[in-house]
A and B are shown apart, each in its own frame.
Chain A
């Protein structure tokens, strides 16, 4: 095709057709934030219902739908896409690349995620109401005998969005392996890129298990197959294995990139090289590997027998070792540093004790014989919220404050940020700390209410107060985003950074690096600051830069599957087949239409440089 730089017809069209990893990253953040807010409101509704015993704020059925969709939205449609947003934006910058390996697939993955996620949530307005079998959707409760069309929306929507995640994961793997700038060897990669790389490997191996599970459930629900029906020779426990073979690595898919974020933020604001970088990388790999060996610890009470229980118990405890290595390496990165306390770093620092508390309850849960008392109680609810909020969510907020100037060209306001931090952190501990005890005192999880006079009332009340604090804190964040816009551009390197994403102008040019940088050590920018002139050496002469063309095809392909999913839910096979055919037609167009992209000329880059 020609050299024309895609003249944006309108802003909307520009974002619908973009294949730029930075814009796709921001789209992921917007999409993830949208579902985060929905899931947060669902959490608040649940905490209002549980504030007082025997409350009737929500009917039991609605409560069950709320916790199902809270978990589904938070895990699949908020936490992962938000991390994907940062991964998309930051990984290419950290390895000195101009884009991800497959820009087209990148956009495709995003649209699959977004439309799949919207499809699941449309069940609030369509059919028999939203899914109500928990985010784990154990059969037989999730089979068509016991659950309405909400579960159809669930399996179809999550298959579409899961496809998007798998595409994204493969894309990151190839990007990290192939697109690193000269000198950026694997063992010089920033920890965030490393952990995202390992998380992408986990996606590659874990998501197929989930897809198989959803596919079997879909065949059973829509086409009368009998994989999970005992009377027909099926087995209900197979579902749990398939789900958790995905589900446990999923926890690490979320937490590993979060570990990466903390490694960046802590090293930057302690002004120190990450302590034990090699040990950190290997600990990440070991966690990723062991993450696949422990899924059955979610199933200690299902009746697997003492041999399986004992083996999975010991394997699970083993994960504490590499995780402990990481915690101590962070502490010793801080040791001897000059620790700057700002909002980004506060979130990272608060993570250490919070996450350790979640980690140790994880080891307690791994004690299989004692797990019989803790399993499926509020102790578990407390544990995984300590891990996911105390780990992943704190990482997301830390990353937001840290990378915001890079992504949006302005810093978030510090006083507002600190209000947000303290409200959120204190609220978080108030909400979840007491739930440990509720569980041990006999309160099962996923209960729509609890009876008066069983000793649960006070702690549940405190827990709900904490939830309100978290919600108010988050409002401070939203306000901050808008208030801070006028604060002005803090320049390319606002934090005295260490890695390549801080070496390029702000706002980030479309092509990222005018000249691909030469990496001479771990923390390449810091190395140049200490040993060079503070600027990256170029590894190539200035020249024309080849860019991919924008295209609407990824969006259309996702629309095809989205429409097809309606056909499946409403048993209209023409619509179902038509949607899939449309997607295949788009793939066909993509395959035969030549699209060589365009070039940004040297002169244009030079004029950009002068402006800078």
Chain B
């Protein structure tokens, strides 16, 4: 009976979960063609495998009920050596079942590895670099760089060149596509497409150190025109970013130049290869540090003690700012926006 209940619960949960999980995060709720194909293959293999489990469990339960030792039964069962016909049957049928999965899998494995776009399809190239514990996105065609939030146009084949600066990470956006590792010394390729506008959650899935679990990012899919406009203003950021209008923000800019710019490139200034993410469009981020709610308090907490929130990252704490300095700095950073 145990087996039946297990199976029933399995099926019930499967039905319940098809299309479940958080919409912009779950691989069970695919939002683009790559994730779609992978989901279909997953379901095909799941179906075949549920059939296998069913067959085994049915025989298992039958045997247990029928041949269980009864009280007072002392007969000696017939000692059977085996049966060649049965052996052939349970060798052949599994091979056929496996072929049902193996053939489409080989086809799809090659399809997914082929980053060449179909005819007339728009293409965007992005170089992704994994760092402990944040993501860097470079758009070589536009000569721009962004951290943590990956903007992509919808209905466009986005081809990624995946790299890593320190240890191995893995780039995964479950709702859009399966993962590919970023490996130091090697450049990997993958592609994906988003059908609808939206914010999709990304994860690092290769264990990469102390704060591995916080190495989240967001994929922001916007329509191609919006994307062009965004890329254009990232390349030519508004003057306000470097010369803020308000007095408080100007004070913040001064602190920023002194304390932040050497590591964080902003609007084409500053930064260094060992530094942190580009902050040009920081004011439009979906999260602080990739996982905290985007608000002023969290930004301040982060600046004061980043090691507490995301231990092991390379940013030092700036707890020596007094409240006024911090307020100015936060005000300035919140204004780092390239869109209206």
Residue numbers of A with Cβ under 8 A of B are 59-61, 64, 132-134, 138, 140-141, 146, 230-231, 234-237, 270-273, 275-279, 301-303, 305-306, 309-310, 313-314, 317-318, 320-321, 324-325, 327-329, 331-332, 334-341, 349-350, 352-353, 356-357, 360-361, 363-364, 367-377, 429, 433, 437, 440-442, 444-451, 454-455, 526, 530
Contact = CB atoms under 8 A, between A and B. Distances in A.
A334 B66 CA distance: 10
Interface in B225-257: none
A48 B144 CA distance: 44
Nearest to A62: B210
A346 to B, nearest CB: 11
Contacts of A237: 183, 186
B75 interface: yes
Interface in B118-166: 162, 166
30 contacts: A140-B166, A140-B184, A272-B80, A277-B81, A301-B181, A303-B189, A305-B113, A314-B102, A317-B98, A321-B91, A328-B59, A335-B59, A338-B73, A338-B77, A339-B69, A356-B57, A360-B52, A361-B49, A363-B45, A364-B42, A367-B105, A368-B109, A369-B105, A371-B178, A372-B38, A375-B179, A441-B22, A448-B213, A454-B201, A530-B79
B67 A270 contact: yes
A367 B26 contact: no
A310 B105 contact: yes
Contacts of A331: 56, 59-60, 63
A554 to B, nearest CB: 37
Interface string B183-226: 11110110000000000010111111111110010000000000
B76 to A, nearest CB: 6
Contact of A340 (B26, B69, B95): B69
Nearest to B162: A303
Contacts of A450: 213
B11 to A, nearest CB: 13
Contacts of A364: 42, 45-46, 49
Contacts of A526: 79
Given A332-B86, A338-B67, A442 B45 contact: no
A371 B37 CA distance: 12
Nearest to A349: B64
B68 A367 contact: no
A363 B44 CA distance: 12
A440 B21 contact: yes
Contacts of B60: 331, 349, 352-353
A376 B206 contact: yes
Indicate the member of B39, B63, B174, B210 with the most A CB atoms within 10 Å. Answer: B63
Given A341-B68, A370-B42, A236 B185 contact: yes
Contact of B213 (A306, A336, A349, A447): A447
A276 B80 CA distance: 8
Contacts of B263: none
Contacts of A449: 213
Contact of A454 (B25, B112, B114, B211): B25
Contacts of B22: 441-442, 454-455
Given A277-B81, A437-B17, A444 B105 contact: no
B interface: dominant SS: mixed
B222 to A, nearest CB: 22
B315 interface: no
Given A277-B82, A310-B106, A335-B67, A270 B77 contact: yes
B49 to A, nearest CB: 4
B167 interface: yes
Nearest to B59: A331
Given A336-B77, A376-B205, A444-B205, A369 B108 contact: yes
Indicate the member of A141, A305, A374 with the most B CB atoms within 10 Å. Answer: A141
A306 B172 CA distance: 18
B76 A271 contact: yes
A216 B3 CA distance: 47
Nearest to B185: A230
A334 B63 CA distance: 7
Given A334-B67, A356-B53, 14 more contacts: A61-B312, A272-B80, A273-B81, A276-B86, A303-B180, A313-B106, A331-B60, A353-B2, A356-B56, A363-B45, A364-B49, A369-B41, A373-B179, A444-B172
B166 A370 contact: no
Given A271-B77, A370-B42, A377-B205, A276 B64 contact: no
Contact of A367 (B42, B83, B113, B177): B42
Contacts of B10: 433
B112 A279 contact: no
Contact of B87 (A231, A276, A376, A455): A276
A446 B210 CA distance: 10
B77 A328 contact: no
B20 A441 contact: yes
Contacts of B207: 64, 133-134, 138, 141, 376, 445-446
B273 to A, nearest CB: 13
Interface in B3-61: 3, 6, 10, 13, 17, 20-22, 25-28, 35, 37-39, 41-42, 45-46, 49-50, 52-53, 56-57, 59-60
A361 B189 CA distance: 27
B291 interface: yes
B262 interface: no
B26 A441 contact: yes
Contacts of B109: 306, 309-310, 313, 368-369
A272 B2 CA distance: 24
Contact of A140 (B39, B75, B83, B167): B167
B110 A327 contact: no
B117 interface: no
